[in-house]
Amino acid sequence: MKKRVLGKDLEVSAVGLGCMGMSHAYGPAADKEEMAELLSRAVELGYTFFDTAEVYGTPDNPHDNEELLGKALKPYRDQIVLASKCGIRFNETSDAVNKPLIPDGRPETVKKSVEGSLRRLRTDHLDLYYIHRIDRNIPIEETAGAMKELIEAGKITHWGISEADEATIRRAHAVCPVTAVQNRYSMMYRDYEALFPVLEELQIGFVAFSPLANGFLTAKYNKESKFEKETDYRSAMPQFTPEAIDKNQEMIRYITDMADQKNATPAQLSLAWMMTKKPWIVPIPGTREYGRLLENAQAAEVELTEQEIKDIDQMLDTVPMSEVFGGSKVESK
């Protein structure tokens, strides 16, 4: 697979693998042996960028995903870039399927969390470590200072921020250079395109999570699609309602028709669209299936012209579009 560079020097595969869905938010956790095999095959396909977090798990095993990756990817550790995150916990008193998040950006939390992640991921360092959400009660400079100490100690080599705005990025970057910002981004959620100028200015990479709008842009869902209400976030996402399926038909038809012209799939077109925009954008779609893993990897080979990107953007600006899931609610402590 082609490579891209995040920040000044973190080389990763052009498409990364978001591993959350193997353990969290997309139904019950998948079989570990099957997912270990899938992760091994991902390495064979050229994936070198694997994304997890300390909270990607289940109530019974909150750290399921890091443990899965630690065991499955240990044989390939020197070939890959491992990214994890700290700084949130779920409000377990909520009965929502996508429970509210409680951020914690205290330096002591960051330093304690990295030790657990290193142990579970069976490594002596993380290549990229994010603060998972911004804690408005803690100055970002304090969190950035803790990350700087972890870099100096050799426990991480790069750090990043997830779901951050421009002011926060600038303040954090002034304390310790930020390598990547990981924000929600897809054809259905383009709010953070406003950040592109500052990311270019500061030489910070953009890691796009939910790049297929939680799978909706694969064009494989319809009114008959069913989701486990207790464990699958899609059961509560607005883009998957019957009304949204109808409202989004024109957009899906456009994407499907253009993908056919490119001998690609709608998912590949969606990923190629964002990768063509900037050379420092890296999507991290997730999957539990080898076919999807291969399909997403091959998106790096789909070529779009500048005019085609403009045409797609114009379509997205003008066709009817439903609401799309914008993330779990963030609560203060």
Q: Using CA atoms, how far apart are residues 31 and 38, in angstroms rounded to an integer? A: 11
Contacts of 116 (CB under 8 A, 6+ apart): 54, 63
Cα atoms in the 13 Å half-sphere on the side-chain side of 229: 1
Q: Using CA atoms, how far apart are residues 198 and 203, in angstroms rounded to an integer? A: 8
Amino acid (one-letter) located at 264: A
Helix (H, G, I), strand (E, B) or coil at 51: strand
Residue carrying structure tokens 């990364």: 16
Q: Quick one: residue 115, left, alpha or beta (phi over 0 = left, psi -120 to 50 = alpha)?
A: alpha
DSSP codes of every residue in 78-144 = GG-EEEEEESEEE-TT--SSSPPEEE---HHHHHHHHHHHHHHTT-S-BSEEEESS--TTS-HHHHH
Q: Is 56 a catalytic residue?
A: yes
Residue carrying structure tokens 């390939």: 76
Q: Using CA atoms, how far apart are residues 267 and 296, in angstroms rounded to an integer? A: 7
For residue 92, what are its two tokens? 């377990």
Write down the H helix ranges in 102-248: 107-120, 140-152, 166-175, 196-202, 242-247
Contacts of 194 (CB under 8 A, 6+ apart): 166
From 47, 56, 185, 233, active-site residue: 56
Residue carrying structure tokens 């996402």: 237
Active-site amino acid positions = 56
